[in-house]
A and B are shown apart, each in its own frame.
Chain A
Amino acid sequence: MLQLAEKSTQEFMLSTETFNQVNEILRDLVTSTRSDFALFCDANGNPITHHGKQHVVNLSGLSALAAGNFAATWEMARVIGEKEGFKFIFQEGERRNLYLCNVGFNFLLAIIFDKAVALGLVRIFANKTVENLKQVLDKAAQAEKKASDFLDAEFGLLLGKELDKSFNL
């Protein structure tokens, strides 16, 4: 199930061990580049983990937008004949910049950094980070549990009750 870096799968299981390794890599990236924030999410728009200052509150929104943006940009590359896609997306703001790149086929890395930080520096460390993340994901330990450990009939029943409560049905 953990063919994370290159294959498109419908179902991902991320182990705690892999999660912790990814966290460490993000921490190194943020420290080395003096970036504000780094987000690791999947290409379907699910946030996985992040490191840095907490001014980004809507992580699920940022992940969904990053995934949509990256997919559209990938297709733009294809339309103009760049079969391997673009290497990264860079957006320049008044105070902060955004750097977005893919990690293999299934994951994305977003880095938010201050205008004072050089893009070249972020680019060098982002490339290194992508390689480190790919290595971790390629060697990822099997997740400690399977979805079938919790997704059973009882889960469906309890979920129904929770939804009724949340929806006031």
Chain B
Amino acid sequence: MFVNWALQEVNLKIVYYGPGLGGKTTNLEYIYHKIDPSLRGDLITLKTREERTLYFDFLQLEVGRIKGMKPKFNLYTIPGQVYYAYSRKIILRGVDGIVFVADSQADRMTENLDSLMDLEQNLIGDGHTLENFPWILQYNKRDLPRIIPVSEMNAKLNFHGVPAIEAVAVRGIGVLETLKTAIHGVVGHVQKVI
């Protein structure tokens, strides 16, 4: 969290984490197109030639003044592919909350678990754990065939009982609910620790 008293701004950083091709960028793209342009900045995407996220995507959102302060939410995605491990560490620096975008397809559970372990390792490196850090789950691609039931997704990924939201990010289903839940989690956590 960064508070600039002169400008009365509160900056909070939320990172979309998860395996490659899970829908993290799609979440940000939907938010970008859905939100009133006066409340958001440009969507910055650093992609490879194969349209995969190379470094990060970035989008800043604002809402109106609250108690005299201007909250700004800085949304980042990380590259999901295993070989971009260092990029993920850099982007997590100063993070206030995480949205873990899990792929619901049956053959993607190993990638979900690997990515979640990778997240925990990176958080530990920064002095946090999944237990004491505000994060939520999004079970994406619920419209596809051969998906894992939510109860099984919960059993495998949601061992800390965090909020879990079903989504179809390409159609915008669950995207804004996810973001709102994440923001509430972050603000609630900050209230607890300050």
Contacts and interface: CB of A to CB of B under 8 A. Distances in A.
A10 B1 contact: yes
Bin the interface of chain A by size.
Answer: 35 or more
A89 interface: no
Bin the interface of chain B by size.
Answer: 35 or more
Contacts, number: 148
A14 B4 contact: yes
B187 interface: yes
A14 B6 contact: yes
A150 B6 contact: no
Contacts of B183: 159, 163
Interface stretch (B32-40, B111-119, B156-164): B32-40
A43 B7 CA distance: 19
Interface string B60-80: 110110111101101010000
14 contacts: A11-B1, A14-B5, A19-B7, A60-B58, A61-B41, A61-B60, A72-B86, A150-B10, A156-B188, A156-B191, A158-B67, A159-B71, A162-B64, A167-B180
Interface of B: 1-7, 10-11, 13, 34-36, 39, 41-42, 44, 46, 55-56, 58, 60-61, 63-64, 66-69, 71-72, 74, 76, 86-87, 90-91, 93-94, 96, 176-177, 179-180, 183-184, 187-188, 190-191, 194
